[in-house]
Structure 1
Amino acid sequence: MRIVGGNFRGLKLADVGEGDARAHLRPTTDRVRESIFNLLINGSFGNPIPGARVLDLFAGTGALGLEALSRGAARLSLVDDGTAARALIRANVERARALGVSDIWRRDATRLGPNRGPTYDLLFLDPPYGKGLGERAVASAIEGGWLSDGAVVVWEESRPPLLPAGLVQLDQRRYGDTVVTIARMVAGG
């Protein structure tokens, strides 16, 4: 697994192998990650990455968030409650030399609680497939005030997700067994 574009392009990330089913580690492939970032950068909805504050829920290896940093995001917060995942995230943040612009939080993404800091402009989430965790995590982020008006949400799942009130779908694509949905937080959502 490597960063596929931007300042960190070619950076080899910590090896996960085929993933870790017990820890729910199923890294986004380089191909799917590259497709996601091509959609974000070249989509008709405007590139949300430059200068963005990024929240990566169910961060796993941190690859999605680090890819955003590589392409010009200003700040990254990575959330995962798995011990194996946080070790991989920490190793990858160190490899990218991104400790000064990254936070790694041990937290249940489905129960974020109230946000006590600035809001986020870009949200990535890649929850364990088929468990409804993505819907709960997005609802928690909205209820807790984590997302700015106009924030872009990039959601990986095995099926099209049920978007909660406040989100409007911008695009949706299938890559093998992964459905990528891109949505925007509407003002006052």
Structure 2
Amino acid sequence: MTRIVAGTAGGRVLEVPVRGTRPTSDRVREAVFSRLEHQGSVDGAHVLDLYAGSGALALEAMSRGADDATLVDAARAAVEVCRRNVRALGLTRVRVAQQPAERFVREVPSRPWDLVFLDPPYDVAASELVQVLGHLAQPGALAPEAVVVVERRARDAEPSWPGGLGLVARKDYGETAVYYLEPFAGADEGDDGVPGADASAAGSVPTGS
């Protein structure tokens, strides 16, 4: 069972798609939001939830004081579940879009994102994930103090982060690895106009649970 952990909708149960979705556990979500709230990244945030599934991450952010949120998923069933969850929680200022993540992020938003979640199915190729992150790293997509949260399987190789995004921390929770990325200035752009990979930008990375 998936629930909103805290905030105005705390304790409310969320519907989850029957298949094709791996919801973030309540334990992991609580740990992620504890960190994000501690650094002031949730209250008033403009939130993007890619590969949204049930929408649990963005809806948790809204429950905890985010300003607005956009939930994106390519699967029609997931989008319908997201919309039902939004209605059931009585939340406003939430948009749900049926579109592949890679296509959605090609367009620079009218307002830069403050907080972005990417929790793709584990079978989504790392190359697709890096392409999506590359578009997020383009000028105007992220606010200067934005945080990008990426979930992957802990035993999988760490993705090659694109230029324009620096790895701040990695935290492991059982089978789940959570990466925290932030934008940085002065990134070189690749031939296609999307920032290229720059693995050296991350520096040392704290680990643990």
| TM, length-normalised to structure 2 | 0.80
In the aligned structure 2, how far is the partner of 1:101 from the partner of 1:188?
33
Within 5 A, what are the aligned runs for 1:16-55?
A: 16=17, 20=19, 24-42=20-38, 46-55=39-48
Gaps of 5+ in 1: none
Within 5 A, what are the aligned runs for 1:139-158?
A: 139-143=134-138, 145-158=140-153
Identity %: 38
Within 5 A, what are the aligned runs for 1:101-180?
A: 101-111=93-103, 112-130=105-123, 131-132=125-126, 133-143=128-138, 145-158=140-153, 159=156, 160-180=158-178
4+ runs deviating over 3 angstroms: none
- 1:10 matched to 2:3? The reply is no
Gaps of 5+ in 2: 188-209
In terms of Rg, which structure is larger? Answer: 2
Instruction: Determine the structure 2 residue equivalent to 1:87.
Output: 80
Counting matched residue pairs gives: 180
In the aligned structure 1, how far is the partner of 2:9 from the partner of 2:160?
34
Which one-letter code corresponds to 2:12 in the other structure? Answer: L
- Quote how far apart the aligned CAs of 1:87 are: 1.1
- Quote how far apart the aligned CAs of 1:141 are: 2.1
- Check conservation: 2:115, 2:148, Cα contact below 8 A: yes
- Quote how far apart the aligned CAs of 1:108 are: 1.3
In the aligned structure 1, how far is the partner of 2:140 from the partner of 2:43?
22
SS in 2 for 1:49: coil
In the aligned structure 2, how far is the partner of 1:15 from the partner of 1:58?
13
In the aligned structure 2, how far is the partner of 1:85 from the partner of 1:144?
30
Which one-letter code corresponds to 1:14 in the other structure? Answer: E
